Amino acid sequence: MNPISSALPSDSLHLDLVTLDLATLSPLILLAAAAVVVMLAAAFYRHPRPVMILTLAGLVLSFTALFLPFLPQGLAGTPSPQVTALLVLDQYALFFTGLIVAATFVVAILCYRYFGGGESRHEALYILLLLAALGGGVLVASSHFASFLLGLELLSISLFALIAYPRFTEHPLEAGIKYLILAGFSSGLLLFGMALVYAQLGTMQFVKIGTMLAAPEETLELYGLAGLALIVAGVGFKLALVPFHMWTPDVYEGAPAPITAFIATVSKGAMLVLLLRYFLMAGAHQSQSITFALSLVAVATILAGNLLALLQNNIKRILAYSSIAQLGYLLVGFLAFDRLAIEAVAYFLTAYFVTMLGAFGVVTVLSEGFNGGSAGEFHGAAERDSDRLADYAGLFWHRPWLAGVFTAMLLSLAGIPLTMGFIGKFYIVTAGVEASLWMPVITLVVGSIIGLFYYMRIIAMMYASGSEAAGEAITLRVAAPSFAESAMLAALVLLLVWLGIFPAQLIDVLGGTMVNLT
């Protein structure tokens, strides 16, 4: 027998496996390829419109590729979700990768007019957005400390530049420096925590960590527990959980409005998804000390976020403290650690993405943004975003459509029925009650009541009939939203209300998506 011919079946099988792995990785590969294509296009043709179109096309292709693992694969079989020890692109990772890609699509649309449209050169912004989305995608698919750190740094380094992108203006630069310092500190905590866990267990794979800790003779020693605590602390900085929340209001206020939307959704969402996978695969939720610490953090985060929001007169700072409180609500479901809790966290996180993108989308549309000159430099900028509470006085009488969108988003954040926010909070409370998490659940209810006050304060300001002057000033200063912006806001409102009235469709999807984690 010819040895070459006898080797062919094995080689063919190897090629099939490689093809299946490439199909599984295709959403991330396409994101990386889109970043390269956009970079080359920006280098040879300095105009933002074709660059933005290429960015949106790359995001659409990446989103479409998420469905490749569900297509018939012929004799080669279906792709394995585990691609090496570093990444696992199961339904859980694919769902949240799709959420990240969709959020990036919305932010890219918001950025175009805000950063000067065709009159400025802001092509590099779209490269950074694609790289940040790629980092978020790697994070949600990580099953190893190495890929965890790779995705985190890819996301964080892109955010440094995005926050300070209008480099000739003071506030974004200050916000970027603050985020750089604190993000570097939190990355140091994560690295040291990973090193301590590896020092005891000798592995960095989440599954192997869980298998080793499940053995009765294996328990974490003091430095192993310290490593877990440092990892939780580092993640706490990224999620802006109390007491690691200090950077959030300043960065939210200083960053450009559409970039703030990206930080509030993609950055925090990717980290929370990774943390949930790590806790379940590594068995960290079985540590009573870690669970007790997270319970205290959840209670403090809910109370601090809501109480501090009461003192603010800046819309972006109010939404910053609101996002802190929302992450506290998510922790309540997170602590239950069962299938219902995982579905609750996934639904609430989806609702959080929709509402935050819609709320910051309105702020972006009502802001002048940054105007570039013919040389591509930012010669001047709006004094600030339209983020003061007084700017929204009487807005309904001049921009009823935008006032209505903002109202819907705020009501969802408050957990009012017929919105996704209500279903998400109800889901979280149900999971918390079933797990007997009485103190976090009671705190969630109290925090929701407090939050209702500052949300209604904004709504009352927008509909005040005797205060039309500020709203009229915004109307005269800022152009009407573009068709793309209006369509995007309309889609977010429709999604918010539709899934608030008929949540079963999304719940069914989440039920199949989360099954592999329980």
6 inside domain: no
7 inside domain: no
Q: State how far the Cα of 408 lies from the Cα of 418, in Å rounded to an integer.
A: 10
The share of the chain scoring above pLDDT 90, in percent, equals: 37
87 inside domain: yes
Q: What is the pLDDT of residue 399?
A: 86
Q: What is the pLDDT of residue 2?
A: 45
Residues 6+ apart with CB under 8 A from 395: 366, 402, 403, 406, 461, 462, 470, 471, 474
Mean pLDDT value of segment 344-349: 90
Q: pLDDT class for 504, splitting at 50, 70, 90? A: confident
Q: State how far the Cα of 35 lies from the Cα of 30, in Å rounded to an integer.
A: 9
Q: Which domain holds residue 379?
A: 12-517
Q: What is the pLDDT of residues 195-208, one digit of tens each?
A: 888 888 888 888 77
C-beta atoms surrounding 124 within 10 Å: 16
3 inside domain: no
Pairing mode of beta strands 82-83, 370-371: unpaired
81 inside domain: yes
Mean pLDDT value of segment 31-45: 90
Torsion over CA of 236, 242, 246 and 249, rounded to 10 degrees?
Answer: 100
Q: What is the pLDDT of residue 246?
A: 85
Mean pLDDT value of segment 352-376: 78
Mean pLDDT value of segment 33-37: 94
The share of the chain scoring above pLDDT 70, in percent, equals: 83
495 inside domain: yes
Asked if omega into 243 is within 30° of 0 (cis), the reply is: yes
Q: What is the pLDDT of residue 91?
A: 85
Q: State how far the Cα of 61 lies from the Cα of 105, in Å rounded to an integer.
A: 11
4 inside domain: no
Per mean pLDDT, which range of 83-97, 290-304, 368-382 is the poorest? 368-382
5 inside domain: no
Residue 395 has pLDDT above 90, yes or no: no
Residues 6+ apart with CB under 8 A from 104: 59, 129, 130, 132, 133, 262, 266
Q: What is the pLDDT of residue 76?
A: 43
Residue type, 422: F
Q: State how far the Cα of 59 lies from the Cα of 76, in Å rounded to an integer.
A: 28
Residue 277 has pLDDT above 90, yes or no: no
Say how many domains are in the chain: 1
